[in-house]
């Protein structure tokens, strides 16, 4: 694979607001460690006290001014300015302790006030739950002390343990629910709105539809070119050889030689016609399955291909087709342009996603805007999948496709 180095990605469609922490480019970020998130939950209590103090110390005095039309605008501006500072603090808390990444854009004033009020309520409630948890820990300590002194009967101990276990379970569940509420409030305030998510979804579908149409058109042109420049020319050559053999004035040996040559040409035509048919759609996918179809790709390749399959369950037909063309196009490009000595193909299913990876040890520099890779992007994007092309100059080249199987 030759050309400029590339590292391109077909991005996934956005998730719903509040479902996953969004990365800088819209991807889901891995969750931080539990101690870090616990520190963020603890910090939410004092920040909620700041919000409560702001509403009491600033919001209440500004209340009458907000009702008077002449002072409403300035009072509202003052209230929003302070609320933005506090929400900025909450945004940094979510980023530092929970790994959230939000779009860098202004948030409307009403949404800021709504978030600060709801966040203050959730934070104060979190403080109450943490207080109950601390009180329960003190009671547990007293219970252990009584047990050590021998002043606690086993019937009373059993009742206290059962009651404490139930209260501890409810307390912990309450903390997890409040943490989820905190995350949802932050995503509703700082993340994309439902309208923006819908618009992004529409744009993604329009882009994938255009890519599919372009891929289909390119495939038709390539089939026409293969038939015109390859099969058709060979058939013309066969017809000319047969015509020369039928002419008079030739010895039987000359006629037999022309017929043998025509026979060899006809065999070459059949071989090339089968190759064209395989590039259009491999019949082995329907009769033998993806593994055997990819084995055929390996057999036709002039470079050694090592394959690794891990498919315990059948795949949807559309996913099998896309996986086949990802491997076929990648292997073909590597054999033609990469000067590689070995190609490794891995097809594994990770939960609901099929991961197809093709890696060669060639010179790298694959062009993502090339006809083959552009067609693959269209095929993968039509299934809401992702295509990664990593091909620095000097190699190696790795093409990874992630295809949803749901």
pLDDT mean across residues, the chain? 80
Provide the pLDDT for residue 283. Answer: 67
Label residue 21 by pLDDT band (50, 70, 90).
very low
Q: What is the mean pLDDT of residues 184-206?
A: 80
Q: How far is CA 378 from the centre of its chain?
A: 15
Looking at residue 232, its pLDDT comes to 78
Comparing 141 with 30, which gets the higher pLDDT? 141
Among 38-42, 243-247, 367-371, the range scoring the smallest mean pLDDT is 367-371
pLDDT tens string 206-233: 777 776 677 677 767 777 777 777 777 8
Q: Is 294 exposed, middle or buried (0-12, 13-18, 19+ CB in 10 A)?
A: buried
Q: State residue 277's pLDDT score.
A: 65
Strand partners, 306: 344
DSSP H or E segment with residue 36:
helix 34-54
Lowest average pLDDT, out of 100-104, 143-147, 368-372, goes to: 368-372
Measuring CA to CA, which residue among 112, 77, 103 is closest to residue 22?
103
pLDDT at 352: 86
Residue 33 reports pLDDT greater than 90: no
pLDDT at 278: 61
In terms of Cα–Cα distance, which of 384, 236, 406 is closest to 315?
Answer: 406
Query: In the predicted model, what is the mean pLDDT of residues 42-66?
Result: 91
pTM confidence score: 0.51
Sheet harboring 343-350: ordered strands across? 6-9, 386-391, 397-404, 353-360, 343-350, 305-310
Q: What is the band of 18 on the pLDDT scale with cuts at 50, 70, 90?
A: very low
- CA–CA dist 95, 89 (Å, integer): 10
Reported as a pLDDT band with limits 50, 70 and 90, residue 14 is very low
Per-residue pLDDT for 127 more than 60? yes
With H, G, I as helix, E, B as strand and everything else as coil, classify residue 220: helix
Question: Per-residue pLDDT tens for 311-362?
Answer: 777 888 888 888 888 888 888 888 888 888 889 999 988 888 899 999 988 8
Distance CA 399, CA 376 (A): 10
What phi, psi does 398 have (nearest 5°)? -125, 125
pLDDT at 20 over 70: no
Cα–Cα dist 314/53, whole Å: 60
pLDDT of 126 reads: 93
Q: Quick check: 389 and 8 in contact, CB under 8 A?
A: yes
**Answer CATH for 288-404 from 3.30.565.10, 3.40.50.720, 3.40.50.261, 3.10.105.10:** 3.30.565.10
For the beta carbon of residue 219, count every other beta carbon within 10 angstroms: 17
The C-alpha atoms of residue 217 and residue 25 are separated, in whole angstroms, by: 31
Average confidence (pLDDT) over 161-190 = 89
Q: Which of 49-63, 285-299, 370-384 has the highest mean pLDDT?
A: 49-63
Question: pLDDT confidence of 371, banded at 50, 70, 90?
Answer: low
Span 234-293, pLDDT tens digits:
788 888 878 887 876 677 888 888 888 888 888 877 877 766 766 666 666 777 788 888
276-309 tens-digit pLDDT: 766 666 666 777 788 888 888 888 788 888 888 8
Cβ 133 vs Cβ 171: under 8 Å: yes
Higher confidence at residue 21 or residue 227? 227
CA distance 272 to 269: 5
Higher-confidence residue: 148 or 167?
167
**Is residue 30's pLDDT more than 80?**
no
Domain boundaries, the chain: 34-191, 202-280, 288-404
pLDDT over 90 at 46, yes or no: yes
pLDDT of residue 47: 92
The predicted-structure confidence for 350-360, as pLDDT tens digits, reads as follows 888 899 999 98
Q: Which pLDDT score is estimated for 369?
A: 65
The secondary structure element, H or E, covering residue 293 is: helix 290-300
């Amino acid at each position: 694979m030759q050309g400029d180095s590339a590292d391109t990605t077909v991005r996934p469609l956005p998730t719903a607001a509040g479902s996953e922490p969004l990365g800088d480019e819209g991807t889901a970020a891995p969750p931080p460690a539990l101690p870090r998130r616990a520190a963020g939950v603890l910090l939410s209590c004092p920040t909620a006290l700041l919000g409560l103090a702001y509403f009491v110390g600033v919001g209440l005095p500004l209340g009458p001014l907000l009702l008077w039309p002449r002072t409403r605008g300035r009072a509202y501006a003052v209230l929003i300015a302070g609320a933005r500072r506090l929400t900025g603090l909450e945004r940094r808390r979510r980023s530092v302790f929970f790994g959230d990444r939000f779009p860098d854009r202004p948030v409307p004033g009403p949404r800021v006030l709504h978030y600060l009020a709801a966040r203050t309520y959730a934070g104060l409630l979190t403080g109450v739950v943490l207080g109950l948890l601390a009180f329960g820990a003190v009671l547990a300590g007293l219970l252990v002390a009584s047990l050590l002194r021998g002043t606690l009967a086993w019937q009373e101990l059993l009742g206290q343990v059962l009651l404490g276990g139930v209260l501890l379970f409810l307390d912990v569940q309450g903390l997890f629910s409040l943490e989820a509420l905190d995350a949802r409030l932050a995503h509703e305030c700082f993340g994309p709105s439902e309208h923006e998510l819908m618009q992004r979804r529409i744009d993604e579908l329009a882009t994938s539809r255009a890519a599919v149409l372009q891929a289909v058109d390119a495939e038709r042109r390539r089939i026409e070119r293969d038939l015109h420049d390859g099969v058709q020319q060979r058939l013309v050559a066969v017809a000319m050889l047969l015509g020369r053999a039928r002419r008079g004035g030739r010895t039987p040996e000359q006629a037999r030689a022309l017929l043998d040559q025509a026979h060899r040409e006809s065999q070459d035509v059949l071989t090339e016609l089968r190759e064209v048919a395989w590039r259009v759609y491999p019949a082995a996918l329907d009769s033998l399955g993806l593994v055997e179809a990819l084995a055929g790709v390996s057999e036709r390749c002039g470079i050694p291909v090592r394959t690794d399959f891990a498919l315990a369950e059948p795949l949807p037909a559309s996913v099998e087709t896309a996986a086949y063309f990802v491997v076929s196009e990648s292997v073909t490009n590597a054999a033609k342009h990469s000067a590689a000595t070995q190609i490794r193909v891995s097809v594994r299913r990770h939960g609901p996603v099929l991961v197809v990876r093709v890696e060669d040890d060639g010179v790298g520099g694959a062009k993502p805007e090339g006809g083959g890779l552009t067609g693959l992007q269209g095929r993968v994007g039509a299934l809401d999948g992702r295509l990664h092309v990593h091909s620095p100059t000097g190699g190696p080249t790795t093409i990874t496709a992630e295809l949803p199987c749901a």
